Structure 1
């Protein structure tokens, strides 16, 4: 019998990386400011405020774009 299995892989952040979170309370554009063993610090590219959270992201897709940060 075959089964459909959904596979998740934790994303490995790189300092300076520009990311976009598609949904949820952290939705929007961010820059990776710092990475530790269990946490990631993200910086808002508009306000420059930084927030440190436990690592939470999973890679869905990578895209090339000329517009970053995007419009809300």
Structure 2
């Protein structure tokens, strides 16, 4: 097996163990930002992984960019 990337999550959108409904935390936190604000948030905080590797959060595969 070859693992290229492993990431963690805040867990905001993780379902409950016993299905009790959808979690709304992720929506409540990100909705006020709007699409542009969310992209700005990602650009400021999520461009690299915890170990400094490119996260490709915007789908980029070119590590030079």
Normalised by the length of structure 1, the TM-score is: 0.19
Task: Using CA pairs under 8 Å that are at least 6 residues apart, name the structure with larger relative contact order, 1 or 2.
Answer: 1
Q: Which protein has the bigger helix share? A: 2
**The structure with more radius of gyration:** 2
Normalised by the length of structure 2, the TM-score is: 0.20
Q: Which protein has the bigger strand share? A: 1
